[in-house]
Structure 1
Amino acid sequence: MSTVKRLAVVGAVGLIATTSACGSSGSGAAPNAASGAKITIGSATAYSTLDPAVAYDAGSWAVYYNIYQSLLSYAPGANQPSPDAAKTCGFSDPVTYKCELRPGLKFTNGDPLDAAAVKFSIDRVLKIKNDSQVWTLLSTIKSVDTPNSSTVVFNLNTPDATLPDRLAAGVASIVDPKLASPTKGVTDPTDTSIGVGSGVYKIDKVDFKDGQPSVLHLSVNPAYQGAALDNGGKLQNSGVTVNFYDNVKETKAALDSGAVDAVATDIAPTDIVKLQNDQQLGKGLQVVEGPGAQIRLMPLNLAKAPFNNKAVRVAIARLLNRDSIASGVFQGTVTPLYSMIPSGITDQNAAYLNLYPPASAATVKRSLQKAGVHLPVSFTLDYTLNSTAGDAEAKMIKAQLESTGLFQVTLRTHATYTAMKNEVLKKGDFDAYTVSWLPDYPDPDDFVSPFVGAPSSMYINYQPAAIVGKIAATLKETDRLAAAKDYADIQNAFANDAAYIPIWQNKAYAVTQADITGAGLTLDTSAVIRWWLFGKSS
């Protein structure tokens, strides 16, 4: 993914539950009435628009997962999607995917949600082709057929075993054809006209400040039918109010004052550690930890010196002390990463550690001299100021490399990822930079495919033919475990080229008031925050 949704600049448990995209179980009947207390959520990532054809940011998708439905979704702890608006889905052949809808689905305004609405929603994403590039997630879809009002058939350009995952992503949210233009996206966050879905919640009102959402008021959709109610599932609250804040300092202050009941992910590492210590002493707020799938990388510009020389790239891979970054900057709230694929995602290995074990400065110096590299190597490291501990992290990387006497590092800051992209990345005017990647779906493909191509999501023009071929092979495997060897080879190939330097993988955290329940059920590698699972103990 090429923008803020997955380049998450704000900032080892395997998945146990695995579901398949075949059929839903349970009645999925709508609740008789909303029950439970209302919950107030604090967030430092407001949505940018309510239009799934436009948004590619974490704040927007968090809202979409709660107000819209997709054909499929991820159950808590699952690493494969299962039916949601659909009752069954499956491949009839490698390039044909068919879904049958649940009967009687409706948008919250009473309009029917049928096969035509699904086709409309997917087609408009591909027609609009918004500059955010979110449409590329659905680019393997050649056409959508609707043989009848309850059947949707996806015809693909090429085999794509990850299509079920993509159809569970925010971009595939189903919108009301009567409210959305088939050819024009909604970019104004104050335009809420498109925000009518069939999900767990419906929008009652949005408050705005300076043209941006400040408070989102949601109540339970009384006609909801979907996966949240399958297998005896229950909604744990009668509504949610989401307060949007400017930064993580403000979300923490809101927790301290009791203004919000819970905050998921938007808490600074230093606050997490202090809160965990307070919790052990039996006081303060609750901290819930779960597996995370966000990774931190240093992409290296292959098009120019010094990183057009593999020996220099390998030197960075060997010298970077990930343990010190994880423990010193992030105080143990992240773990060192030695692969493009993080722990908790199928087929992860430690390719970089295996190929480039830590080495002394003297050893690395000899390797650089043998390759004819002039020392010290000078380069500029770009990073964003609004990333979690980004300033401290960049300074530690600089200190680590310069302490060897082999590198001279100039730090260059940017306000946001978007600013960095426009100021240097799109122009190719950079040497290296740090960035975080949050996957669109918890499949190993989303940690490899976006990082190759011209120029690729990372702007480094990395086009290894061997990896591209292997990726094509993996996408033919609807049994994702059957692709394990190919993914091992792909990770080893990434490490061999060292075009990217993995740094760390996050842990997911939620912080709540003492009487809040359910936070632990919504922290997993899908990165879907399920607001309906938050409740209050009696």
Structure 2
Amino acid sequence: MNRKLLVLPALLGVMTPLLTGCGGSGGGSGGGKAIVVGTTDSIELTKDSPAPLDPATSYDSATWNVFYNTFQMLLTYQRGSTTPSPDAAKDCHYTDVSVLTYQCTMREDQKFSNGDALTAQDVKFSIDRMQKINWAAGPASLISGVKSVDAPDDKTVVFHLKAPDATFPAKLATPAAAIVDSKVYAPDKPYTGFRLVGSGPYTMDSFVQAKQGEFSKNSHYGGTLKVNNSAIELKLFADSHKMEAALRAGTIDVMARTLSPDQIGTLLGSTDPNVKLTESPGGEARFLFLNTDSPALKDVVVRRAIAQVIDRQAITRDVYKRTADPLYSVIPQGITTHTNSFYNIYKDPSVPTAKAELRSAGITDKVSVTINFRRDNGGTMNQAEAQEIARQLNASGLFDVTAKSEQWNTFLKKASDRDYEIFALSWLPDFPDPDNYIAPFFDKDNFLNLAYNNKTIQDQLLPATRKQAERGATTTDFTKAQNLIATDVPMLPLWQGKQYIAARSNITGVEWALNSSTTTQFWELGRGQSG
């Protein structure tokens, strides 16, 4: 997902952000005028996306930014914690030694923003609905391990799993398990338009495509999160430099996604006392996917040759200006079980090695392929990155690569329809666990519908890791999975990013505002004194 990562429970450990400029931390006032948050994320209503604000259909960072703030889940992450804790629920636990049954007891007097009572039946309805709609490129794959859900009374919900899954509580803390009002949402159809009804910290009062969304504190919210402001205005920008200008002028208070590499460099070196930049380690990973059913890429030797030629150091240096680090595995550094599987196999880029392997397989002509990249939005560098990859491959003399743009709002659908030979995707984890870097792409029913299927990963390694409550005990199996992916090359890891958020110096809570999915947690933001 451009969602699918970290100031809080980021990389299976608490991160300490780096602050530049001035400004305080901690809680601010819960009242006052709306805090204006700028973003270059795009949420579009189209024929292919008729219900962009329905949790059953949308699985990207832009929409999940809205969902985390407006919908409630049974579980959530408290500040500084890597363990999900109750929110709409007051208690959740496995009920049997086989860890196939997970039960939650609902918190008292939970309500949706419209005043409707929220009960266990709404939780069951929401999970059943997610699975029934099963939207292409949607998040239903996250809860595909649920066999059935029972709601024996208003306060009790019981999940019956198909197989043991130690990551299930973390999945319940994502918008894939967002609780929707069964009196408002149809059980088998998306809730179309820019509409939503949730029970989270905020109510969405209005949303205008390409302009703004207005959110106010939900007076019916009965969960555990402390809300430090009364209202948020989400301002949408098509140009990250215009967003920065608005921040410096004081017409917005915060700018989150996405800052371009040159802006990050400028802000890091800025002496402006009115603006502060928060930097933290990140788990965002950028992957290049190769369609293993494509005639040009069906032979693994061709895919390995691409892996042998790609120069990640050049990409992170020349395109991203060192605001990202080269990545050599599907699981990023800092996440438990990471190993440099691609570097261990392919070492440094080598055109002679790639050429020798292609020739030994009888491939003497240039391999013609197309890289489709998502149209740049704001501060993204998709075009420059795709052109650099094409340049590297073409310069080898072994490939004839064309880079071609795709519309932002149709990219994921076409990717999941296997319309592309090669495409890149930034992945922001749904929860901070190695499973969430492997399963969304390589498990059965993966959300991208990839042509590549590895039965060892699907039938042995992932099931084995999900039986382990102690995640460090999964190292052997996840190492095997990473090595299999590096050997078969259905994808190439490119880079791992840091997280950045900039704000006016009187805005508090900024260092806690980004969660592990780079979602801006509106409730953390408050107003304090200028630095």
What's the TM-score once normalised by structure 2's chain length? 0.87
Q: CA deviation at 1:513?
A: 1.4
C-alpha change, 1:147 and 1:305, in structure 2 (3 Å) is closer
The CA distance in 1 between the partners of 2:206 and 2:295, in whole Å, is 50
Match of 2:259 in 1: 267
Q: CA deviation at 1:329?
A: 0.5
Q: How many residues align?
A: 501
Match of 1:22 in 2: none
Match of 2:132 in 1: 127
Does 108-117 or 324-333 show the bigger shift? 108-117
Q: CA deviation at 1:17?
A: 4.0
Match of 2:525 in 1: 534
SS in 1 for 2:186: coil
Show the 5 A alignment for 1:314-325: 314-325=304-315
Match of 1:42 in 2: 38
C-alpha change, 1:373 and 1:46, in structure 2 (3 Å) is closer
C-alpha change, 1:79 and 1:350, in structure 2 (3 Å) is farther
Letter of the 2:392 partner, please give it: Q
Instruction: Find 1:76's aligned residue among 68, 74, 79.
Output: 79
Show the 5 A alignment for 1:95-114: 95-114=100-119
Letter of the 2:251 partner, please give it: A
Conserved? CA contact 1:34–1:222, under 8 Å: no
Conserved? CA contact 2:141–2:440, under 8 Å: no
* CA shift digits 1:387-413 (9 cap, x unpaired): 621111122112222333333322222
Match of 1:227 in 2: 224
The CA distance in 1 between the partners of 2:349 and 2:183, in whole Å, is 62
Conserved? CA contact 2:11–2:432, under 8 Å: no
Q: CA deviation at 1:186?
A: 0.9
Q: CA deviation at 1:70?
A: 0.4
The CA distance in 1 between the partners of 2:418 and 2:112, in whole Å, is 45
Mapped pair 1:398 → 2:390: yes
The CA distance in 2 between the partners of 1:356 and 1:470, in whole Å, is 23
SS in 1 for 2:383: helix
* CA shift digits 1:204-227 (9 cap, x unpaired): x2153xxx2633222223343323
The CA distance in 1 between the partners of 2:132 and 2:170, in whole Å, is 21
C-alpha change, 1:50 and 1:365, in structure 2 (3 Å) is closer
SS in 1 for 2:283: strand
SS in 1 for 2:281: strand
Conserved? CA contact 2:119–2:155, under 8 Å: yes
SS in 1 for 2:478: helix
Show the 5 A alignment for 1:376-525: 376-386=366-376, 388-416=380-408, 418-419=410-411, 421-422=413-414, 425=415, 428=418, 430-452=420-442, 456-458=446-448, 460-468=450-458, 469-525=460-516
Letter of the 2:323 partner, please give it: T
* CA shift digits 1:478-536 (9 cap, x unpaired): 33332222111111111111221110112111111122221211334343321111122
SS in 1 for 2:452: coil
Match of 2:189 in 1: 184
SS in 2 for 1:323: helix
The CA distance in 2 between the partners of 1:454 and 1:169, in whole Å, is 20
SS in 2 for 1:434: strand
Letter of the 2:112 partner, please give it: F
The CA distance in 2 between the partners of 1:64 and 1:102, in whole Å, is 20
Conserved? CA contact 1:98–1:151, under 8 Å: yes
What's the TM-score once normalised by structure 1's chain length? 0.85
Match of 1:21 in 2: none
Gaps of 5+ in 1: 19-30, 230-234
Match of 2:22 in 1: none
The CA distance in 1 between the partners of 2:385 and 2:518, in whole Å, is 23
Show the 5 A alignment for 1:307-386: 307-386=297-376
Conserved? CA contact 1:37–1:536, under 8 Å: no
Q: CA deviation at 1:357?
A: 0.5
Conserved? CA contact 1:290–1:524, under 8 Å: no
RMSD between superposed Cα atoms in Å: 2.7
Q: CA deviation at 1:314?
A: 1.9
Conserved? CA contact 1:265–1:508, under 8 Å: no
The CA distance in 2 between the partners of 1:420 and 1:202, in whole Å, is 28
Q: CA deviation at 1:14?
A: 4.0
C-alpha change, 1:228 and 1:399, in structure 2 (3 Å) is same
Letter of the 1:366 partner, please give it: A
* CA shift digits 1:93-113 (9 cap, x unpaired): 321001112222222333322
Show the 5 A alignment for 1:131-150: 131-150=136-155
Match of 2:234 in 1: 242
Match of 1:152 in 2: 157
Name the % identity.
Answer: 36
Match of 1:26 in 2: none
The CA distance in 2 between the partners of 1:284 and 1:384, in whole Å, is 34
Match of 2:18 in 1: none
C-alpha change, 1:131 and 1:447, in structure 2 (3 Å) is same
SS in 2 for 1:483: helix
The CA distance in 1 between the partners of 2:309 and 2:178, in whole Å, is 44
Mapped pair 1:88 → 2:79: no
Gaps of 5+ in 2: 16-26, 45-51
The CA distance in 1 between the partners of 2:42 and 2:212, in whole Å, is 9
Higher relative contact order (CA 8 A, sep 6+): 2
Mapped pair 1:198 → 2:181: no
The CA distance in 2 between the partners of 1:317 and 1:324, in whole Å, is 14
Conserved? CA contact 2:142–2:440, under 8 Å: no
Q: CA deviation at 1:41?
A: 0.8
Q: CA deviation at 1:330?
A: 0.7
